[in-house]
Chain A
Amino acid sequence: MTDDSLRRRIFMTLAAPVGAVLLSVVFSAIVLLIAGANPFAAYADMFEHAAKLETQVSMINRATPLYISGVAAAIGFRMNLFNIGVEGQYLLAAIFAAFVGGAVALPGVFHIGLILLVAMFVGGMWAGVAGLLYTQRGINEVISTIMLNGVALGLVAALVKEWQAKGDIAIVKVGTEPIADSGIIPNLTFIPELFGDIRNDLTGVLVIAIVVGISYHVLINRTVFGYDLRASGANPFAARAGGIPPKRMVMTAMLMSGAVGGLVGMAEIMDKGRYNPNFVGYLGFNGIAVTLLGRNHPAGIALGALLWAFLEASSNILQVTNTAPKEIADIMKGVILLSTVIGYEVVRRIRVREEAARTAARLAEVA
Chain B
Amino acid sequence: MRKHLLLLLSVLLSFSLVAAACGDDDEGSDVSVGLVFDIGGEGDQSFNDSAAAGLARAADELGVATSKVSPNDDGSNRAELLQLQADNSDIVLAIGFLFAGDAAAVSGENPDINFAVVDDAMLDFDNGGVPVSDNTAGLTFAEEQGSFLVGAAAALKSETGTIGFIGGVCCFGLIEKFEAGYIAGAKAVNPDIEIISEYITEFPNFDGFNDPASGKETALAIYAQGADIIYHAAGGTGAGLFEAAKEQSEATGSKVWGIGVDSDQYNTVDPEVQEYVLTSMLKRVDNAVFEIIKAHINGTFEAGNTVYDLSTDGVGYSTSGGYVDDIADQLDDFKKQIVDGDIVVPTEP
A residues whose Cβ falls under 8 Å from a Cβ of B: 7, 11, 18, 22, 25, 38, 40-41, 43-45, 47-48, 54, 58, 62, 153, 156-157, 160-161, 168-174, 199-200, 272, 276-282, 312-313, 316-317, 319-323, 326
CB–CB B204/A160 < 8 A: yes
CB–CB A312/B120 < 8 A: no
User: Which one, B74, B129, B172, contacts A282 given CB within 8 A?
Assistant: B74
User: Which one, B22, B68, B173, contacts A172 given CB within 8 A?
Assistant: B173
Give Cα A88 to B134, complex, Å.
Answer: 39
Give Cα A58 to B129, complex, Å.
Answer: 32
Pick from B80-88, B311-319, B322-330 the stretch touching chain A: B80-88
Q: Which residues of A contact B76 (CB under 8 A)?
A: 62, 280, 312
CB–CB B125/A40 < 8 A: no
Give Cα A319 to B82, complex, Å.
Answer: 12
Q: Provided the pairs A44-B19, A160-B204, A277-B172 are in contact, do residues A317 and B74 lie with their beta carbons within 8 angstroms?
A: no
Closest CB-CB distance, A60 to chain B, in whole Å? 13
User: Which one, A156, A171, A319, A322, contacts B70 given CB within 8 A?
Assistant: A319
- Closest A residue, CB atoms, query B205: A157
CB–CB B140/A171 < 8 A: yes
Within 8 A of A (CB), among B1-51: 1, 5, 8, 12, 15-20, 22-23, 34
A-B contact pairs, 27 of them (CB 8 A): A22-B8, A25-B12, A38-B19, A40-B18, A44-B15, A45-B20, A157-B202, A157-B203, A157-B204, A160-B204, A168-B125, A171-B120, A172-B100, A172-B173, A173-B173, A200-B79, A277-B204, A278-B75, A279-B204, A281-B74, A281-B75, A282-B74, A312-B72, A312-B77, A316-B81, A316-B84, A319-B69
Please indicate which of the listed interface residues B76, B88, B171, B203 has the most CB atoms of chain A within 10 Å of its own CB: B76
Chain B 70-108 near chain A by CB (<8 Å), digits 1 or 0: 101011110111011100100000000110110000000
Q: Which residues of B contact A313 (CB under 8 A)?
A: 77, 80
- Is B119 among interface residues, defined by CB-CB distance under 8 A? yes
Give Cα A169 to B140, complex, Å.
Answer: 14
CB–CB A280/B80 < 8 A: no
User: Which one, B75, B123, B125, B173, contacts A280 given CB within 8 A?
Assistant: B75
Q: Provided the pairs A38-B19, A43-B19, A44-B20 are in contact, do residues A278 and B206 lie with their beta carbons within 8 angstroms?
A: yes
- Is B196 among interface residues, defined by CB-CB distance under 8 A? no
B residues whose Cβ falls under 8 Å from a Cβ of A: 1, 5, 8, 12, 15-20, 22-23, 34, 67-70, 72, 74-77, 79-81, 83-85, 88, 97-98, 100-101, 109-110, 119-121, 123, 125, 129, 140, 171-174, 202-206
Q: Which residues of A contact B140 (CB under 8 A)?
A: 171
CB–CB A58/B80 < 8 A: yes
- Closest A residue, CB atoms, query B8: A22
Q: Which residues of B contact A160 (CB under 8 A)?
A: 203-204
Give Cα A317 to B24, complex, Å.
Answer: 13
CB–CB B81/A172 < 8 A: no
Give Cα A62 to B74, complex, Å.
Answer: 12
* Number of residue pairs spanning A and B whose beta carbons lie under 8 angstroms apart: 120
Q: Which residues of A contact B17 (CB under 8 A)?
A: 44
CB–CB B22/A41 < 8 A: yes
Closest CB-CB distance, A312 to chain B, in whole Å? 7
Q: Which residues of A contact B70 (CB under 8 A)?
A: 319, 326
CB–CB B19/A18 < 8 A: no
CB–CB B110/A199 < 8 A: yes
List 14 extra interface pairs beyond A41-B23, A47-B16, CB under 8 A. Answer: A40-B19, A43-B16, A44-B17, A160-B203, A160-B204, A171-B173, A172-B119, A199-B110, A272-B101, A278-B75, A278-B98, A316-B81, A319-B68, A320-B84
Q: Which residues of B contact A168 (CB under 8 A)?
A: 125
- Closest A residue, CB atoms, query B77: A316
- Closest A residue, CB atoms, query B109: A199
Give Cα A316 to B77, complex, Å.
Answer: 8
Closest CB-CB distance, B309 to chain A, in whole Å? 14
CB–CB A171/B18 < 8 A: no
Q: Which residues of B contact A58 (CB under 8 A)?
A: 80
CB–CB A323/B23 < 8 A: yes
Give Cα A283 to B23, complex, Å.
Answer: 33
- Closest A residue, CB atoms, query B5: A18
Closest CB-CB distance, B233 to chain A, in whole Å? 14
Q: Which residues of B contact A322 (CB under 8 A)?
A: 67
Q: Which residues of B contact A278 (CB under 8 A)?
A: 75, 98, 204, 206
Give Cα A319 to B42, complex, Å.
Answer: 12
- Closest B residue, CB atoms, query A49: B84
CB–CB A48/B23 < 8 A: yes
Give Cα A335 to B10, complex, Å.
Answer: 23
CB–CB B16/A44 < 8 A: yes
CB–CB A173/B203 < 8 A: yes
CB–CB B204/A48 < 8 A: no
Give Cα A160 to B75, complex, Å.
Answer: 17
